[in-house]
Amino acid sequence: CGLSLDPLPMQGPELGIQADDIEAPEVEQEPKQEVLENKNVVVQRVHIDGLGRTKEDLLTYEIAEVFRANNLIDVMRKSHEARQKLLRLGIFRKVEVNIDTSRGEDALPNGLDVTFEVTELRRMTGSYNTMVGNNEGSMVLGLRLPNVFGRAEKLTFQFSYGTKETSYGLSFFKPQPGHFERNVSFNMYKVTGQFPWSSLRETDRGVSAELSFPMWKTNQTLKWEGVWRELGCLGQNASFAIRNESGHSLKSSLSHAMVVDTRNSSILPRKGGLLKIHQELAGYTGGDARFLKEDFEIQLNKTLYWDSVLSASLWGGLLLPFGDAPTCIADRFYLGGPTSIRGFSMYSMGPQSDGDYLGGEAYWAGGLHLYTPLPFRPGRGGFGDLFRTHFFLNAGNLCNLHYGEGPQAHLKKLAECIRWSYGLGIVLRLGNIARLELNYCIPMGVQSGDRICDGIQFGAGIRFL
């Protein structure tokens, strides 16, 4: 006899107990289940059918746990987990599992054979999709060569054309066999972006190398990046400060990122938390940009009564230049807009010159949010569950610091002239891709030179305060 282990179907009406099934002798199924769980079995062989260019030694790590199963239920569970690991490699289009009794001269009475039937992806695949960034959209064309050398390597070329940014790049990705979370990647890219709030145009041409690995409950990333940056003015009306920033610069930096993410969703979480810490050190491996940059992000989410969610967020960052040279406008922090301090225009607060915003060397931003179901719950259990009512309170500040003054003076300056806002609106979750917000905002604490968006404000993106 043989068993086929397919993906579990979603629950639906046809899966429930019907009226005709009530009299089914469930008393007989309990001992059957008990026999299956208690009967000792031995997985004698694991076959993988359908391999072409994939190396077998790569898959040995992914299916090793199947041999450790000691009853039929355990065999089915571990085989399903192995199937998920095989699909995670990104080299198979389809994976099916068959469990059968062992056959042959050396077959044991309680022996089982497990067969994975795989279908490899084509040597070259293409893709076309749209992507939503922080209040901007783009069209993305991709060309991918999966499993280049037979051990889950991936070579990808991607072209992106957006409302404010155009880019193309080539990347190579290689995981460690048996530990997919440990991987290295190499990238070459060119990115051209327009930043109308600063009357600035920036073109980056760079290369980078990344090493990612888990450590305890965290995900760690080490990165080296070398980038040639070309800054220019968007128009003739650019301020003198922007014209002074124009020109070429070379940045070579080492960075480290640590992420702890226990949220159930990154787009609109209902529970869990996020801690993200990032450090970047530039100038010690070459280039003319010399600085130390630190920033962090904290988010906590708690489910309350009546299907409502309370969320609190805190961001912060500090840019410390080395030597007498000032920091570059491309390295500074920016704040304001529908994805951070709502009620203000996009990145339009803090230091500015003749209407062009120059960014700051230190900032903080905090947010308190209450998400509730729509009034009267229209579309409950379906499309209506994608919408949430949103009440928010945001606050923050962005400034430049004089580093000879000491920490107390820095904290005092960050606490002065705090911008804040409050309001309410509607949030739409677009799967696990992005989210849209339509809010009525009331900005407060507005300082001279800030641009505000008093009233209705629309936001689209992935990362929100």
What is the predicted pLDDT for the residue at 26? 41
Tell whether the model's pLDDT for residue 130 goes beyond 90: no
Per-residue confidence band for 162, with pLDDT thresholds at 50, 70 and 90: confident
With H, G, I as helix, E, B as strand and everything else as coil, classify residue 106: coil
Measure the CA angle with vertex 287, ends 285 and 289; round to 5°. Answer: 105
CB-count burial class (<10 Å; 0-12, 13-18, 19+) for 152: buried
Closest CA to 435 of 456, 457, 464, 455: 464
Tell whether the model's pLDDT for residue 12 goes beyond 60: no
In this prediction the pTM is: 0.83
Of 22 and 287, the one with more pLDDT: 287
What distance in Å separates the CA atoms of residue 46 and residue 96, rounded to the nearest whole number?
13
Within 8 A by CB and 6+ apart from 169, the residues are 157, 158, 187, 188, 189, 190, 191
Name the token pair of 226: 């070398």
What distance in Å separates the CA atoms of residue 102 and residue 47, rounded to the nearest whole number?
12
- The two counts, helices (H) then strands (E), for the chain are 5, 22
Tell whether the model's pLDDT for residue 95 goes beyond 50: yes
What is the predicted pLDDT for the residue at 29? 44
Mean pLDDT over residues 270-292, rounded?
93
Q: What is the dihedral of CA 239, 244, 249, 252, to 10 degrees?
A: -80
What is the predicted pLDDT for the residue at 33? 44
Per-residue confidence band for 15, with pLDDT thresholds at 50, 70 and 90: very low
Mean pLDDT over residues 144-150, rounded?
92
Mean pLDDT over residues 153-180, rounded?
92
What is the predicted pLDDT for the residue at 37? 56
Element (H, E) at 226: strand 218-233
* Residue at token pair 């209506």: 384
Name the token pair of 12: 């639906």
What is the predicted pLDDT for the residue at 38? 60
Phi, psi of 448 (to 5 degrees): -60, 130
Q: Residue 349 CB: number of other CB atoms within 10 A?
A: 32
pLDDT digits (tens, 9 = 90+) for 375-407: 877 777 777 788 999 999 999 999 888 776 767
Mean pLDDT over residues 423-446, rounded?
91
Q: Residue 433 CB: number of other CB atoms within 10 A?
A: 12
